[in-house]
Amino acid sequence: MPKHIDVTGTAELEVEPELARVQLSVGALDETRAAALAETTRRAVLLDALLVEHAAEIAVRADGPYAVVPEYDYVDGARELSGFRGRRDTNLELYDWRRLIELFTAATEQADAAVAGPSFDVQPSSSSYDEVRRLAAEDAARRAEAYCDGLGIRLGHVVHAQEPDGGAIDGPPIGRARMMVATMAPDDLPEIGPGLVKLRAALTVRFALRKP
């Protein structure tokens, strides 16, 4: 008779989002590196001032470095320099995601920013992670009991347990707001509906076996 059995329990849990992530980018294309950087910097200053106004809604802010790269066109198969493009990205996490439309509108109108996102998630400290882990552990126990019942043996104590894939993870949202387009008029911006966030967990457990 084998001495142990290994089973993997899994669980999924759909929860309301607790934060939104978004990237705001400013940039400019010009004939020289200096001119592209100057215009990008001007737009970044405008965006920074706007973000200061919305500081109470922003939980995390990370400004990337300025970058200026050459841009080329192809004419008759030959590559020709068309100018230089500057860019700076700012990544944000907002807990009050209901005010995203207001922020997006102001960023596109005042700083000519491009918007990527939003995506929705739960906070790292959310109790939902513990709940989905508990469900995965219960699933592992049920699986082990079912196998033992089928084999006519008794389930013993837990010998070892581990998370094979790092445990609970924040999966892709079920429902994601559409990307905002800088050319949209404020009245045309779509309503943001975050849907639900799906969390997953997996737990591999080794149980000892006992004779019936």
**Lowest-confidence segment of 83-92, 122-131, 157-166 by average pLDDT:** 157-166
Q: Which residue has the higher pLDDT, 13 or 176?
A: 13
Alpha carbon distance 1, 35 (integer Å):
78
**According to CATH, what is the number of the domain 1-17+122-212?**
3.30.110.170
pLDDT of residue 143: 95
Smallest CA-to-CA distance from 190 within 181, 203, 199 is with: 181
pLDDT of residue 173: 41
Q: Does position 35 have pLDDT exceeding 90, yes or no? A: yes
Q: Which residue has the higher pLDDT, 118 or 70?
A: 70
Q: Where in the chain is the domain with CATH 3.30.110.170?
A: 1-17+122-212
Going by pLDDT thresholds of 50, 70 and 90, the confidence category of residue 146 is very high
Cα 185 to Cα 37, 104, 142, 182: the distances in Å are 27, 11, 55, 8
Q: Does position 4 have pLDDT exceeding 80, yes or no? A: yes
Q: What topology does CATH give the domain 19-121?
A: Alpha-Beta Plaits (3.30.70)
Going by pLDDT thresholds of 50, 70 and 90, the confidence category of residue 78 is confident
Mean pLDDT of the chain: 84
Alpha carbon distance 54, 95 (integer Å):
12
Going by pLDDT thresholds of 50, 70 and 90, the confidence category of residue 32 is very high
Residue-wise pLDDT for 165-203, tens only, equals 654 444 444 333 333 333 334 444 445 556 788 899 999
pLDDT of residue 165: 64
**Lowest-confidence segment of 26-30, 85-89, 120-124, 156-160 by average pLDDT:** 120-124
pLDDT of residue 206: 93
Strands 196-210 and 78-94: what pairing? unpaired
For the question of whether the overall pTM of this predicted structure is more than 0.85, the answer is: no
Q: Where in the chain is the domain with CATH 3.30.70.2970?
A: 19-121
pLDDT of residue 56: 87
Coil, strand or helix at 16: coil
